[in-house]
Structure 1
Amino acid sequence: MSDLLVSRPRLDERAVTQHEKLRLHADPEATLRSNFLTSSGLASVGYRSAKYTPAEWVANNDLTLHQAVSDVKHAEKFRHESKALYTETEVRTLRTQAEGTKHLGDRLQDIHFWRSELERHIEKLEAETDLVLAEKLRLEKALDATEIPFAIATDNLSCREKRLGPDLVKDLVEEELVREMELIRSIQALHKRTLEQTVAQINSNRDAKRTLEMDWSDKQRAYSLDNQCGHYNNSSIETQHQPGSAKIQDHVTNCGQWMDFTRANLAVAEREMRASVELRQLIGRVLLDTSEDLRAQCSTVDQAFKQRCQELTEAKIQLEIHLSEVLQQIGAQERNIVSLQQALHDKEAPMRVAQSRLHTRTHRPNVELCRDAPQLSLVEEVGEINQTMSSLAAQLSGARASLGSLEESRMLLEKALACKTNSLLIDRQKCMSHRMRYPDLVTLSGY
């Protein structure tokens, strides 16, 4: 009966080969036996059974033992390496976590510093904006206060247009009033430009403050989050795995950009605060200068009014004196005319007598009608009376002409006196009394 050929258990050829090399190297006789067995085995390769040979059994046992020893040593070595590794990693992890906590603390200090700086600048900006708002209110009040001087100057010019006759003159008062109106217009334009600049500065301050507040809000949120992260520890129940959190995104800024951003915002706030302070100083100078200019021009106009009223008063006094003299002369001339008329009337009777005598003597008869002394005396008397009456008539005519001139002078003086009285009424009673409502320096300064 032929031998049954069965498959042999698989051996670790790598291990067997290595074991055989070690054994043959240690025992030369074993090498000879191995060569012999190999040559013998080749001869009976087709007739061998499935059983192991004793040498293979020994080799297999030796191999198993050697492999067990090797695995034990390798396991011990791996266990020692693992213990050293997890001990080292534990220390390194704790150290890294402590460094991270320290970095979080440093970061919290940085955020707190810049957040405090932002709070300080926000408060300063808010206080500065309130001051600028107060100056804006002053400007608006000062602008409104200029309406009264403008109305007074306009009313003065309108009233002075009602002056009569030759008193309607472009005098120093009118020139100063026109100059006052031009000054008020220029001051109003300056106030409006300054007011626009103030509104723009207030908006800039508010924009800068809004930017700082947004930055502060971001830092407040970041401080809260980092503070929360700083309180995390290995026993915290709030922690959980976030696999993608370690990836650095493209839009994340670095620390330099972070500080530069806040510094730039603070620099803008500082610039706006400096501009705001300079603007407030400019507003103060503008209000002071314009109010002083208005009050100075008001004093100049008032002085011109006083001088003009004094001139009008003096002219009125002179007119009244001359009118009084003219009235006196008119009365005297009227009495003179009456006297001249009476003198002419008184000459009619002597003329009638002399003419009647001459006429009667013309009836003398013949030689009696001679040029005797009475005749010559009567002729001379008639001529003298005619000459006297002619002189009196001429004098009466001159007196009447003089009276007419005096009447015309009286009318002119009375008309001029009425003009001066009207001008004084306008300048003193209307204009100067109206100018008493002129705002004072404090009101013109916007307080």
Structure 2
Amino acid sequence: MEFLGTTQTASYCGPKKCRAMSELSPATITQESYQPYYLPGYRHLNSWRPSLLYKVPSNQGCPNEGTVNRNALRPPTILPALRTALFSRYSRHDWDQATMAQIRGAETSRHWANKLTADSVRLMQDKDQLTQQMQDGTCRNLCQRLCDIGFWKSELTYELDRLMSENHALDTVKKRLECAAAEIESPLQVSLECLYHREKRIGIDLVHDSVEKNLIQEVDLLKCTQDQMKKLAERCDIQMRDNRDAQHTVERDLADKNSAECIDEKCCNLRNTSDTINFFHGVEKADGAVSVCETWAKFSDDNIRHSQDMRANSIRLREEAENLLEVSSDQIWKQFTNTNLAFSTRISEVTDVKNKLQLQLAKTMQEIFQMENTIMLLERAIMAKECPLKVVQTRLEHRSRRPNVELCRDIPHFKLVNEAFTIDDTLQTLKLRLCEAQDTLQLLVLTKNRLEHDLSVKANSLFLDKEKCMMMRKTFPCTPRLVGYT
């Protein structure tokens, strides 16, 4: 038996020994030359060494008995190269111990191998079960995610349909407003023509009477109604743009939901036997997510809420337009009737106008003074609103520079936008009122001049009122045309 390759030689056979084997006695060899020997791989065999040596034969036939025969100390051998190897052999006890150690080592190795095999099989089974459970849980989570995506898709689709219907309805109302505003142009020209003809009165007959008041009111009403319709049509156009922005946002979100649904459905259908699976090392470490479940749901909810707000604004705008069309039609008809009645009354009251004209002149002067004060106050009010408008627009411009997700449509943003629109509406209202005041002031000045010079010729006034004005006012647009239906 060999241990770890070849049999090791005794320590006295090495090249470092200076004395020859033949020069040592057996006792010297036994006591000095042998060193403790250890088998490789067996630490418990630490105190054994070869115990059997070749005995030295007696000095037979030696002429000098006191002299040791050096050749007799060497063991008989055939191969001179193996002489030193003969002294490194082991005993039978050593051989038995080495065999038992080898057997015990083999049994120990087999025991640990069997234990490791059982543990490995159990570990593989546990890991396979854990992997399968995790994969099943992931499939369930993907299915739940698909349900969530389907829910938001249905909500977005429903909201998109309603928004598109509302946008179409708002477009119809806008066209009605434009048609009604164009239809008002004809009676406005008639009213203006009446005023123009009445401007031809001579002297004291150029009076600011009830007919002229009604004509002015009619013109103001027609102009105001026309301006309101045009402005409302512009607001409808702006609201339609906002609706289209909300529609594009919802459509983009819906397209993203469709893409995410396709990807998650593809992931849910993947199995261990699928052909499209592959290794993507490091993909689990690269987190490119831009949202979490709460922000993901909130994003779609905000889009739907924004769309609902746009629809609510659109509905209010449509109701306002419908109300404006109906109210303006009634007011125009009433004003048209009142103006005609005023003309009839004016024709019958031509002779009894002098005192009324004097009183009207005084009232006109007072009204001019008040209107100038009103214009001055309106101009001051308009100038006072410019600084708050600059502040809110500056705030909005600064907040529009917020980066990335910080560009949030938060409550301050809504408040600032509402404040900006409110101040702008206030300015528009004040400017409109200033224009109306200036127009009224101009008309009052013209009326004053007419009251001073138009009391001389009554016949011309009767001719103008009866023959010129009333002949033109025999025709007037019907109600369906006034509300925008052609």
TM-score class normalised by the smaller sequence: 0.5 to 0.7
Check 1:40–1:51 CA distance in 2 against 1; reply closer, same or farther (3 A cut). Answer: closer
Deviations along 1:405-443, whole A, 9 cap, x unmatched? xxxxxxxxxxxxx963x6555333432232233222222
Deviation at 1:53, TM superposition (A): 3.3
* SS of corresponding position for 1:257: helix
Deviation at 1:94, TM superposition (A): 1.5
Counterpart residue number, 1:179: 217
Q: 1:71 to 1:156 in 2, by over 3 A?
A: same
Residue 109 of structure 1 is aligned with which of 127, 143, 147? 147
Q: Aligned residue for 1:61?
A: 99
Instruction: In structure 2, give the amino acid aligned to 1:428.
Output: K
**Shift, 1:188, TM fit:** 2.5
Kept in 1, the 8 Å contact 2:153–2:254? The answer is yes
- Offset of 1:12 from its aligned partner? 3.8
Q: Measure how far apart 1:223 and its partner are.
A: 0.1
Q: Mark the CA change 1:164 to 1:254 in structure 2 (over 3 Å): closer, same or farther.
A: closer
Structure-2 change in CA distance of 1:214 and 1:12 (3 Å): farther
2:346 alignment partner, one of 299, 308, 323:
308
Cα deviation, residue 171, structure 1: 3.0
| Cα distance between partner residues in 2 of 1:245 and 1:207 | 36
Q: Cα distance 1:108–1:158, how it changes in 2: closer, same or farther (>3 A)?
A: same
> What is the rounded CA distance, in whole Å, between the counterparts of 1:241 and 1:9 in structure 2?
56
Which is helix-richer, 1 or 2?
Answer: 1
TM-score norm. by structure 2 comes to 0.60
Per the alignment, do residues 173 and 229 of structure 1 end up closer, same or farther by CA in structure 2, a change over 3 Å counting? same
- CA-CA distance at 1:55 after TM superposition: 3.0
Residue 308 of structure 1 aligns to a residue in which SS? helix
Per the alignment, in what secondary structure is the counterpart of residue 144 of structure 1?
Answer: helix
CA contact 1:114–1:262 (8 Å) conserved in 2: yes
Question: What is the Cα deviation at residue 150 of structure 1?
Answer: 1.4
Contact 2:177–2:229 (8 Å) recurs in 1: yes
Paired position in structure 1 for 2:312: 274
Map 1:120-269; keep pairs closer than 5 Å: 120-163=158-201, 167-249=205-287, 251-269=289-307
Deviation at 1:105, TM superposition (A): 0.7
Name structure 2 gaps, 5 residues minimum.
1-10, 16-35, 53-83, 353-456
Measure, in 2, the Cα distance between the counterparts of 1:289 and 1:221: 49
* C-alpha RMSD of the superposition: 3.3
Report how far residue 86 of structure 1 moved. Answer: 1.5
Provide the identity percentage.
30
CA shift in 2, pair 1:206/1:185, >3 Å:
same
* CA 224–146 in structure 1, closer or farther in 2 if over 3 Å, else same: same
Letter in 2 for 1:193: K
User: What residue in structure 1 maps to residue 368 of structure 2?
Assistant: none
In the alignment, which residue of structure 2 is the partner of 1:119? 157
The one-letter code sitting in structure 2 at the alignment partner of 1:427 is D
Taking structure 1 as reference, are residues 176 and 223 closer, same or farther at Cα in structure 2, changes over 3 Å only?
A: same
Is this contact kept in 2: 1:16–1:59, CA < 8 A?
no
Asked whether the 8 Å contact 2:164–2:247 carries over to 1, the reply is: yes
Q: Deviations over 1:355-406 (max 9, x none)?
A: xxxxxxxxxxxxxxxxxxxxxxxxxxxxxxxxxxxxxxxxxxxxxxxxxxxx
Amino acid at match of 1:131: A
Please say which of residues 220-229 and 83-92 is displaced more in the overlay: 83-92
**How far is 1:135 from its partner?**
1.2
For 1:16, the equivalent position in structure 2 comes to: 43
TM-score under structure 1 length normalisation: 0.65
Contact 1:205 1:273 in 2 (8 A): yes
| 8 A contact 1:145–1:444 mirrored in 2 | yes
Between 298-307 and 48-57, the greater mean CA deviation after superposition: 48-57
Retained in 2: the 8 A contact 1:5–1:50? no
Matched with 1:284 is 322
Give the aligned length. 322
Question: Compared with structure 1, are the counterparts of its residues 159 and 85 closer, same or farther at alpha carbon in structure 2 (3 Å cutoff)?
Answer: same
Alpha-carbon separation, structure 2, partners of 1:11 and 1:268: 88
Higher Cα Rg, which structure: 1
Mapped contact 1:295–1:440 kept (Cα < 8 A): no
Q: Which residue of 1 aligns with 2:472?
A: 434
CA separation of 1:11/1:107 partners in 2, compared to 1, >3 Å: closer, same or farther? farther
SS at match of 1:223: helix
Q: Aligned partners of 1:285, 1:139: CA distance in 2, in Å?
A: 11
Q: How much has 1:298 moved relative to structure 2?
A: 0.7
Aligned to 1:79: 117
Cα separation, 1, equivalents of 2:338 and 2:299:
58
The C-alpha deviation readout for 1:152-178, integer Å capped at 9, x for no partner, is: 011111222334566544432122112
C-alpha separation in 1, matches of 2:38 and 2:475: 128
CA contact 2:49–2:90 (8 Å) conserved in 1? no
Secondary structure of the 1:244 match is coil
Cα distance change on mapping 1:9 and 1:213 into 2, 3 Å: farther
Checking the alignment, whether the CA contact within 8 Å between 1:287 and 1:444 is kept in structure 2 is yes
CA, structure 1 residues 222+12, in 2 after alignment: closer, same or farther (shift >3 Å)?
farther
Whole-angstrom CA distance in 1 between matches of 2:40 and 2:483: 111
